[in-house]
């Protein structure tokens, strides 16, 4: 470039392909690498140092990067892109021009783990939408792309060992397990036909340093939180998925109290966070995260809850409101296919239902999902298993997830409508109406009340008696069962009582009042009421002296 050509450039508008900088003493090699990275991501351009960037531009000269040959070599090595650099001896000072070529099609460049882009006079990390558009240029999803380097040298012995353990636990064919490392990864879809390791294979069994170099966003983090803003334990890694799964489960397991349920023939043990549910949550996060987006799989263990988040929003129409029954939509098909072959993932969307079932069958609250366009987070409340709910599930083997969701809801609410049940089960109303009907007729765990639009459902007496101590709407602490019984019998000596009068006397809800009166009927103190609004409870003849 000549001084005359430079003078012509000074008159042009600065845009995404042209950047002027004075390049004073603070313009170091770090800034140079970032600007060259950003220009390459803009499909190439020129970085001109020694010129003011505001019009009217003027040459001020720069002493930056006297060793241009060394700088060119450095940029080629760091950015894997050949960048030319020339000095222009202008009458007003020395100017350095870096001519940056375009990045490859479908391959954004990154420096220091960040995909840089231009934003006015400064640089910022690329947005998720911008990255997505670049990756879609070739029509090839990320985990199906090959990794630079010899496959054998990229694979970790520890990663392969963990991978084989998982496959053995899942009942993999012995002949498959006896294959060599590369042949096994090829059988799982992690190695291309020409023997190159794919990103999916690297994530299955790669060395941490290879993963960090080729997939700089593939990090996991663990934080044991003391509060919402402070933590007292931090662990991080760039391990393959089987190793990361083991490490995260171990870290939670060290802080996962176990409760035994006495009174049964065998005293089973129940961790606060069920290990099967924990495995499914971690695998889902690792399988579905966006490996192009900055950030890490982060598991935060609070005193009262567990939160697991991963970069990348839901895809394919999945939302927090339909995730329970929505067909699986993998973000990373090649990786997901490999995980399906080793039975860590499931194309039929069994992972999320397993999490729900594992929690609900122990009487624990279901997971809560939250999502934005950039991240997904799931929260599991730390709770102990409830003996009463476990007993109900044991006595009614075959209850499905929708049944458990309705029953769990009724441990916290006195009644449920079809509309509410449809929301909590993530089902259409007509499907849930059938579920509620079966809970009434087949399982005899619910009873219908009201009619038409006012119809609702509540626990049957048998279910109520099993779950009594697990209900959140217990008797008022000031009114014991004996006191409530005495009040009712005393009032009945003076005359019949309506259901509303029983509730007013005892200070309890409808279910407790109903259970109390039926107990008095069974004990022979009270006559069963009639039907309809005018029904009354009557003291049975001969029970005048009942206590």
The structure tokens listed for 242 are: 């089987």
Query: Would you state the pLDDT for residue 502?
Result: 87
Average pLDDT over residues 501-514: 80
Q: Is 105 exposed, middle or buried (0-12, 13-18, 19+ CB in 10 A)?
A: exposed
Distance, CA of 479 to CA of 484 (rounded, Å): 6
Residue 348 scores a pLDDT above 60: no
Query: Would you state the pLDDT for residue 135?
Result: 72
The structure tokens listed for 508 are: 């309890």
Query: Would you state the pLDDT for residue 475?
Result: 39
Query: Would you state the pLDDT for residue 140?
Result: 66
HEC readout, 187-251: HCCCECCCCCEEHHHHHHHECHHHHHHHCCCCEEEEEEECCCCCEEEEEEECCCHHHHHHHHHHH
Query: Would you state the pLDDT for residue 77?
Result: 85
Residue 238 scores a pLDDT above 80: yes
Residue 479 scores a pLDDT above 80: no
Report yes or no: 32 and 75 within 8 Å, Cβ to Cβ. yes
Provide the sign of the torsion angle of the four alpha carbons 421, 423, 427, 431, taken in this order.
Answer: positive
In this prediction the pTM is: 0.67
Query: Would you state the pLDDT for residue 500?
Result: 85
Domain boundaries, the chain: 3-135, 142-214, 387-470, 481-539
Q: DSSP 3-state assignment of 260?
A: strand
Distance, CA of 436 to CA of 443 (rounded, Å): 10
Average pLDDT over residues 448-468: 85
The CATH number of 3-135 is 3.30.950.30
Architecture category of domain 481-539 in CATH: Orthogonal Bundle (1.10)
Instruction: Give Cα 514 distance to the centre of its chain.
Output: 42
The structure tokens listed for 364 are: 């624990």
Query: Would you state the pLDDT for residue 263?
Result: 65
Distance, CA of 383 to CA of 371 (rounded, Å): 24
Lowest mean pLDDT among 169-173, 386-390, 405-409: 169-173
Residue 136 scores a pLDDT above 80: no
Distance, CA of 373 to CA of 509 (rounded, Å): 43
| CA-closest candidate to residue 204, choices 184, 221, 220, 222 | 184
Query: Would you state the pLDDT for residue 270?
Result: 93
% of the chain at pLDDT higher than 70: 95
Mean pLDDT, the chain, rounded, equals 88
Model confidence over 433-443: pLDDT tens digits?
999 999 999 99
Model confidence over 256-305: pLDDT tens digits?
999 887 766 566 889 999 999 999 999 999 999 999 888 899 999 999 99
Q: Which CATH class is domain 387-470?
A: mainly alpha
Domains 3-135 and 481-539 share a fold: no
Distance, CA of 380 to CA of 316 (rounded, Å): 24
């Amino acid at each position: 470039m000549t001084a005359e050509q430079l003078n012509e450039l000074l008159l042009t508008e600065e845009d995404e392909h042209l950047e002027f900088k004075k390049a004073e003493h603070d313009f170091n090699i770090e800034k140079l690498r970032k600007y060259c990275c950003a220009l390459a991501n803009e499909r190439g351009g020129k970085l001109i140092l020694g010129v003011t960037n505001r019009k009217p531009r003027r040459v001020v000269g720069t002493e930056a990067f006297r060793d241009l040959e060394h700088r060119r070599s450095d940029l080629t090595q760091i950015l894997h892109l050949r960048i030319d650099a020339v000095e222009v001896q202008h009458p007003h000072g020395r100017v350095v021009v870096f001519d940056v070529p375009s990045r490859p099609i479908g391959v954004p460049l990154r420096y220091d783990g960040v995909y840089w882009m231009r934003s006015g006079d400064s640089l910022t990390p690329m947005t998720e939408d911008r990255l997505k558009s670049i990756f879609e240029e070739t029509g090839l999803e990320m985990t199906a792309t090959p990794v630079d380097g010899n496959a054998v040298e990229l694979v970790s012995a520890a990663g392969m060992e963990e991978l084989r353990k998982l496959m053995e636990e899942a009942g993999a064919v012995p002949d498959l397990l006896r294959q060599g490392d590369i042949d096994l990864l090829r059988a799982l879809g992690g190695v291309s036909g020409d023997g190159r390791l794919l990103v999916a294979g690297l994530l299955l069994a790669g060395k941490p340093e290879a993963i960090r170099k080729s997939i700089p966003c593939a990090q996991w983090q663990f934080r044991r939180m003391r509060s919402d803003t402070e933590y007292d334990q931090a662990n991080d890694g760039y391990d393959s998925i089987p190793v990361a799964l083991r490490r995260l489960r171990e870290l939670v397991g060290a802080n996962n109290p176990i409760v035994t349920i006495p009174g049964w023939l065998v005293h089973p043990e129940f961790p606060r966070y069920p290990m099967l549910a924990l495995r499914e949550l971690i695998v889902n996060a690792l399988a579905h995260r966006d490996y192009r987006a900055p950030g890490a799989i982060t598991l935060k263990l609070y005193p009262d809850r567990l939160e697991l988040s991963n970069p990348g929003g839901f895809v394919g129409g999945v939302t927090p409101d339909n995730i329970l029954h929505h067909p699986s939509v993998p973000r990373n098909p090649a990786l997901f296919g490999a995980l399906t072959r080793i039975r860590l993932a499931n194309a039929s969307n069994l992972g999320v239902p397993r999490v729900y079932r594992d929690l609900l069958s122990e009487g624990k609250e279901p997971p809560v999902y939250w999502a934005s366009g950039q991240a997904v987070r799931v929260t599991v409340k730390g709770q102990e298993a409830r003996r009463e709910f476990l007993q109900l599930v044991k006595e009614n083997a075959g209850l499905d997830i929708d049944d458990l969701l309705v029953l769990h809801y009724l441990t916290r609410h006195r009644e449920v409508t079809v509309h509410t049940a449809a929301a909590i089960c993530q089902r259409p109303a007509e499907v849930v109406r059938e579920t509620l009907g079966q809970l009434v007729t087949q399982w005899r765990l619910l009873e219908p009340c009201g009619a038409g639009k006012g119809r609702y459902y509540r626990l049957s007496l048998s279910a109520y008696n099993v779950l009594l101590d697990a209900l959140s709407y217990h008797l008022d602490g000031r009114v014991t069962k004996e006191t409530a019984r005495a009040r009712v019998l005393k009032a009945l000596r003076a005359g019949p009582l309506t259901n509303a009068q029983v509730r007013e006397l005892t200070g309890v809800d409808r279910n407790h009042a109903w259970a109390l009166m039926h107990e008095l009927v069974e004990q022979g103190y009270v006559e069963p009421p009639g039907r309809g609004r005018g029904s009354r409870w009557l003291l049975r003849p001969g029970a005048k002296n009942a206590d």
